[in-house]
Amino acid sequence: MAPRVAQVILFFSLSVCVLGQTWCNKNYMVTEPIVDPGGRFPTPDTSSSPLLALRCGPAIRPYLPEDAADTSTTSPTAILIDAPIVFSHISNAVPVTLGPGTLDVTVSVNGKTIASGSVPLNATKHALPFSLSALKPQKAAYTITCSATFAKSQKFSATGLLTYLPDPPADIGSVTKFDARTGALLARPLNGPKTAAFEPVFPIGFYTGYGNYLATNFTTALPQLKSQGFTVVHPVPSFDNITQLDEVLDLMEEVGLWLMYDMRLTYMSTTSVTEEVNRIKSRKNLLLWYTADEPDGTSDPLNATSLAANLINSLDGGDGLGGAGYHPVSLVLNCENFEFTAYASGADLVLQDTYTIGNNMSFSTVWGTPCTDDYGDCGCDNCHQGFPDISKRMDEFKQRIFINGWGLTKAVWTVPQGFGNETYWPRYPTGAEWIVESILGINHGGLGALHSPSYAIYSLTGIMYVGVVSWDDPTTADIKASASSLAHALAGSMNAFILSPAASIRQITLPNGVDVGLWTVGSATLVVATNINNQAMSLSLAQLQLAGGPGTVKQVFNSGSSVSSDGRTLHFDKIGSGAFIVTQ
Ligand SMILES: *[C@@H]1O[C@H](CO)[C@@H](O)[C@H](O)[C@H]1NC(C)=O
Ligand SMILES: *[C@@H]1O[C@H](CO)[C@@H](O)[C@H](O)[C@H]1NC(C)=O
Ligand SMILES: *[C@@H]1O[C@H](CO)[C@@H](O)[C@H](O)[C@H]1NC(C)=O
Ligand SMILES: *[C@@H]1O[C@H](CO)[C@@H](O)[C@H](O)[C@H]1NC(C)=O
Ligand SMILES: *[C@@H]1O[C@H](CO)[C@@H](O)[C@H](O)[C@H]1NC(C)=O
Ligand SMILES: *[C@@H]1O[C@H](CO)[C@@H](O)[C@H](O)[C@H]1NC(C)=O
């Protein structure tokens, strides 16, 4: 959450409280009544008989002409098929009579078949290869129609958008692709050859104060951020002096840091967005756009984020109608459950910022009222437990994405709290707490299947990874050191697992609250674990169905953790975390 917003509200509340300010559409001032905020994500009706919810979409968005010639790169030409069997009326779910056999799937564009194959029921991201040679590069996305037949007579269908863009024109400086297999962003290495292969980027960095920090300190700050291992910088507007902004962005590019370009103050202005996108899109280090900062908190118009995304997309090489442009669009949502579908529809990457450190989550220290699910603002909407609220938020957002049929087009990123000593949050997180927040986000980005008895469905989100962009820098030396240590460990050996399309993923929350993510590639498993408790905890590798043993475990990240000398047990200090590679 942008504390800026909180301060604006504080200011307004003194002068114009008669207007009735809300947060997440809840009243929060002691003078105001409890009014149901509404806008909750609907729980789909359950079904007593099985339903098939077919989804299809391209593995990569967008494709480029070079992908037609070389399919052996990181940009495989394939249509991904999800065929979940559910007991809930989610998007595009229709009755299916189960039995032996597989789905016969045909993918067509304008009536012409481009791919076909058999797909198991319940498959996640089953790839059907196709050739781009049947298509021409163009701005407008192609509609793909996926028709499936099961047991000869049962028919199913789904559509998706396939974007195949021409080589970027001179005013586009870079291309960022979305890899639907992993949720990763792919880009050519910064400052590498113009034709270098695309590779996955793990975005880790901070929302970085501009006026109070970068504008004056950029010559020392940017090289330092790079050496600290961060990959992305998200400058926080306003950017008042464009000449100076250009100097900052030039150096950011020169030192090899990606730019997440923020239009929070201007995203609802067609004129400003047009000016900014046209100015920034030629930057070689532009990774992605960022529009609304907590539009659900301030109840921005429900169409605002999608209108902005379409405008940005149309200026960035796309059709402005849902096809991909040369860069994806992101935003952050702050509310646990307010108009998720409307606001998230305007982004490829949906960030969540669940801030639980130091604030009283049941009684508002700022407004002097209780916080409930229909009243009050405690700085963390509908939060009740602290750290577990972060995992829950990640899981809920991903589940809603699954229900809406967006699983092949959107991913969720996490915003760890890196601030404090203000409004709701009397203290900063420690570095170790910052790591717990980040690892919960990373582990819950990587769920394979999320079972939800209450919805009678499970989310086949497949293998997804998460970006980590913390609010905000400048922060404490302790947080910076911890974040830097994680960034170096990711680049060192963790990314090879987390970003691998070949990884199989499990996530386990042990009864003692230790949260574990496991990425297995071949005979090696990356174990990323965090202890949310204020007391030390241990877990045995056997609990993770890993053998371990002397010489089989290598620690690759340490924030208060260790492995026993017999290689069978992991120890965690209170609020301790670690990553380990276990070889079988
Ligand atoms: C589909 O997968 C879910 C989750 O793994 C499982 O519970 C269910 O039995 C599977 N259904 C079929 C028909 O394979
Ligand atoms: C910015 O630079 C000034 C002057 O060198 C220095 O005093 C200050 O600590 C720097 N700020 C940060 C957050 O590093
Ligand atoms: C804008 O920044 C440039 C470059 O730092 C500087 O030379 C110029 O004086 C600034 N303009 C204003 C109005 O501050
Ligand atoms: C967006 O929604 C607002 C109401 O909040 C409406 O006035 C406006 O016409 C809508 N814009 C478009 C382009 O649909
Ligand atoms: C939150 O505030 C209430 C009311 O002042 C207090 O009773 C409670 O102990 C506080 N909880 C925490 C965790 O500080
Ligand atoms: C906390 O904020 C207050 C008011 O802005 C400031 O005076 C104080 O130095 C801050 N303390 C810390 C530890 O940052």
DSSP conformation letters of 397-428: HHHHHHHTT-TTT-EEEE--B---SBTTB-SP
Phi (first) and psi of residue 63, to 5 degrees = -85, 155
Q: Is the pLDDT of residue 56 over 50?
A: yes
Q: Which of 356, 357, 362, 534 to mutate to test the pocket of ligand 5 (most atoms within 8 A of CB)?
A: 362
Average pLDDT, the chain: 92
Q: Which of 244, 245, 247, 249 to mutate to test the pocket of ligand 3 (most atoms within 8 A of CB)?
A: 244
Question: What confidence tens digit (pLDDT) does each residue in 336-351 have?
Answer: 999 999 999 999 999 9
Q: Which of 360, 361, 377, 387 to mutate to test the pocket of ligand 5 (most atoms within 8 A of CB)?
A: 360
Q: Is the pLDDT of residue 252 over 90?
A: yes
Residue 550 buriedness (CB in 10 A; 0-12 / 13-18 / 19+)? exposed
Atom in ligand 3 nearest the alpha carbon of residue 241: 1
Count of other CB atoms within 10 angstroms of residue 304: 18
Nearest by Cα to 416 from 433, 396, 401: 433
| Residue 458 confidence (pLDDT) | 42
Q: Residue 270: CB within 6 Å of ligand 4?
A: no
Atom in ligand 1 nearest the alpha carbon of residue 451: 4
Query: Using omega within 30 degrees of 0 as the cis cutoff, is the peptide bond preceding 108 cis?
Result: no
Q: For residue 83, what is the DSSP state? A: -
Q: Residue 476: CB within 6 Å of ligand 2?
A: no
Question: What confidence tens digit (pLDDT) does each residue in 83-123 have?
Answer: 999 999 999 999 999 999 999 999 999 999 999 999 999 99
Give the Å distance between the CA of 40 and the centre of ligand 5: 27
Q: Is the pLDDT of residue 464 over 60?
A: no
Nearest by Cα to 106 from 76, 149, 68, 63: 149
Atom in ligand 4 nearest the alpha carbon of residue 301: 5
The share of the chain scoring above pLDDT 90, in percent, equals 88
Return the sign of the alpha-carbon dihedral for residues 370, 376, 382, 387. Answer: negative
Q: Residue 244: CB within 6 Å of ligand 3?
A: yes
Give the Å distance between the CA of 370 and the centre of ligand 6: 26
Residue pair 434/560 in contact by the 8 Å Cβ criterion: no
Q: Which tokens sit at 346?
A: 């305007």
Question: What confidence tens digit (pLDDT) does each residue in 156-188 have?
Answer: 999 999 999 999 999 999 999 999 988 899 999
Residue 39, amino acid: G
In angstroms, the CA 528 to CA 240 distance is 42
Question: What confidence tens digit (pLDDT) does each residue in 5-32 have?
Answer: 444 344 343 333 345 699 999 999 999 9
Mode of pairing for the β-strands spanning 60-61 and 176-179: antiparallel
Q: Residue 474: CB within 6 Å of ligand 2?
A: yes
Q: How confident is the model at residue 447 (pLDDT cuts 50, 70, 90)?
A: very low
Question: What confidence tens digit (pLDDT) does each residue in 355-372 have?
Answer: 999 999 999 999 999 999
DSSP line for 329-346 = EEEEE--SSSSHHHHHTT
Question: What confidence tens digit (pLDDT) does each residue in 143-156 have?
Answer: 999 999 999 999 99
Q: Residue 121: CB within 6 Å of ligand 1?
A: yes
H or E segment at 308?
helix 304-315
Q: Residue 150: CB within 6 Å of ligand 1?
A: no
Residue pair 43/396 in contact by the 8 Å Cβ criterion: no
Q: Is the pLDDT of residue 455 over 90?
A: no
Phi (first) and psi of residue 321, to 5 degrees = -125, 15
Helix axes 304-315, 270-280, angle to 10 degrees: 40
| Residue 382 confidence (pLDDT) | 98
Nearest by Cα to 417 from 428, 406, 408: 428
DSSP line for 420-451 = -SBTTB-SPPPHHHHHHHHHHHHHHHS-SEEE
Residue pair 258/287 in contact by the 8 Å Cβ criterion: yes
Q: For residue 158, what is the DSSP state? A: E
H or E segment at 223?
helix 215-227
Residue pair 312/291 in contact by the 8 Å Cβ criterion: yes
Q: What is the pTM of this model?
A: 0.95
- Compute the C-alpha angle 402/267/295, nearest 5°: 50
Residue pair 389/355 in contact by the 8 Å Cβ criterion: no
Q: How confident is the model at residue 254 (pLDDT cuts 50, 70, 90)?
A: very high
Sole residue written with tokens 């994806």: 328
| Residue 18 confidence (pLDDT) | 40
Nearest by Cα to 475 from 413, 419, 543: 419
| Residue 16 confidence (pLDDT) | 36
Nearest by Cα to 162 from 131, 188, 187: 131
Residue pair 572/580 in contact by the 8 Å Cβ criterion: no
Q: Which ligand is nearest to the CA of 248?
A: 3
Question: What confidence tens digit (pLDDT) does each residue in 372-422 have?
Answer: 999 999 999 999 999 999 999 999 999 999 999 999 999 999 999 999 999
Residue pair 258/249 in contact by the 8 Å Cβ criterion: no
In angstroms, the CA 179 to CA 181 distance is 5
Cβ within 8 Å of residue 153, ≥6 positions away: none
Residue pair 46/456 in contact by the 8 Å Cβ criterion: yes
- Residue environment code for 28-56, b if the CB has 16+ CB neighbours within 10 A, otherwise e: bbeebeeeebebebeebeebeeebbbbbb
Distances (CA, A) of 304 to 181, 217, 295, 584: 29, 34, 9, 51
Give the Å distance between the CA of 581 and the centre of ligand 2: 38
Residue nearest to atom 6 of ligand 2 (CA): 217
